[in-house]
């Protein structure tokens, strides 16, 4: 059994007095697609943000390919922060795609995708841009390279954002509701790019309300409710009846095009 791409153990996240994630234990196998579903406010984004180290866990451990993210347990049982260089190295294994795309408005598509190659990886401009262009080609946007984000549709912006993350050659891609900010007719082009990525064997963690996508692409689906992981398993198991009442209730509320086929 190979090392899981991500291992989460006893993860707790509090904001002040409110506990947003409670004792999360989850393993995400390498090369698989793992979807996080759950009602609004259940802690999905927070969990994903912990994986990207945009939030620091209050306690518990996250390892990426077996390497501790952010903190490690010292022999005396105390949790200690890793040195910044090491945190950066582990974070570089993941790429993140946001609900709101978060493209930098003052840079073209090409600029967005090549920025970190130039400033972080110190590639010469020409090489960085060649690699960026190759990524844009992959998401079908080679001919939009010189467009600014404001000149692109939402679906195109999100594909640029995916290219930006892929350009850094991450081992794992994290997606936080990548299609929620899109008009329904634009979700398809983004989901297709994600399907291709999954078919290539990219490890993916996807927070989504697209139950149809989850049911057809995911190898593992995890259901979060009030900060707890109620259960996790392959789609066939998750959606099999009888279902957990909370999940049934959730599916009723979020019933979309795809979920209807599970009804």
Question: How far is the C-alpha of 100 from the C-alpha of 103, rounded, in Å?
Answer: 8
123 touches, from Mg ion, another protein, ligand ATP, none (C-beta below 5 to 8 Å by class): none
Q: Are 91 and 142 in contact (CB under 8 A)?
A: no
- Can you tell me which of 4, 37, 38, 103 binds ligand ATP, judged by CB under 6 A? 38
d(CA 52, CA 180): 20
Among 103, 190, 194, 259, binds another protein (CB under 8 A): 103
Give the binding range for ligand ATP (CB under 6 A) out of 39-47, 81-89, 136-144, 193-201.
Answer: 39-47
Q: Please name the residue that has the structure tokens 């549709």.
A: 153
User: Does 159 participate in binding ligand ATP (rule CB under 6 A)?
Assistant: no
Indicate whether 43 belongs to the interface with ligand ATP (CB under 6 A).
yes
Among 94, 135, 156, 208, binds another protein (CB under 8 A): 94
Q: Determine which residue in the list 38, 95, 155, 178 makes contact with another protein, applying CB under 8 A.
A: 95
Residue selected from 12, 52, 134, 262 as contacting another protein according to rule CB under 8 A: 52
- Estimate to the nearest angstrom the gap between the alpha carbon of 187 and the chain centroid: 16
Integer Cα distance of 158 and 151 in angstroms: 13
Can residue 116 be called a binding residue for another protein (CB under 8 A)? yes
Name which position in 45, 108, 187, 220 contacts ligand ATP (CB under 6 A): 45
The encoded tokens of residue 169 equal 């050659």
d(C-alpha 207, C-alpha 47), whole Å: 9
41 preceded by a cis bond (ω within 30 of 0) = no
Question: Both tokens of residue 55?
Answer: 């939030």
Residues found in the chain: 263
Query: Residues in the site for another protein, rule: CB under 8 A?
Result: 52, 54, 88, 91-92, 94-96, 98, 100, 102-106, 115-116, 119-120, 148-150, 161, 164-165, 168
Query: Residues in the site for Mg ion, rule: CB under 5 A?
Result: 45
């Amino acid at each position: 059994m190979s090392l899981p791409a991500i291992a989460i153990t006893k993860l707790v996240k509090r904001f002040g007095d409110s506990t947003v994630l409670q004792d999360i234990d989850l393993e995400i196998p390498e090369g698989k697609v793992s979807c996080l579903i759950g009602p609004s406010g259940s802690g999905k984004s927070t969990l994903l943000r912990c994986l990207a180290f945009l939030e620091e866990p209050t306690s518990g451990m996250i390892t990426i390919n077996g390497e501790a993210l952010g903190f490690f347990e010292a022999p005396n049982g105390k949790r200690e922060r890793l040195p910044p260089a090491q945190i950066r190295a582990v974070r570089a294994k993941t790429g993140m795609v946001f609900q709101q795309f978060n493209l930098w408005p003052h840079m073209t598509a090409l600029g967005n995708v090549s920025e970190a190659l130039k400033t972080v990886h110190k590639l010469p401009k020409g090489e960085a841009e060649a690699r960026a262009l190759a990524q844009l080609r992959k998401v079908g946007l080679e001919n939009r390279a010189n467009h600014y984000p404001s000149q692109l549709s939402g679906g195109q912006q999100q594909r640029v954002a995916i290219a930006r993350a892929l350009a850094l050659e991450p081992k794992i891609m994290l997606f936080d509701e990548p299609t929620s900010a899109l008009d329904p007719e634009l979700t398809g082009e983004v989901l297709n790019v994600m399907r291709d990525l999954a078919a290539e064997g990219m490890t993916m963690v996807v927070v989504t309300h697209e139950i149809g996508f989850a049911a057809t692409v995911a190898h593992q689906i995890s259901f979060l409710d009030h900060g707890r992981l109620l259960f996790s398993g392959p789609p066939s198991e998750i959606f099999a009846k009888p279902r957990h009442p909370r999940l049934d209730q959730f599916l009723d509320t979020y019933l979309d095009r795809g979920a209807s086929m599970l009804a």
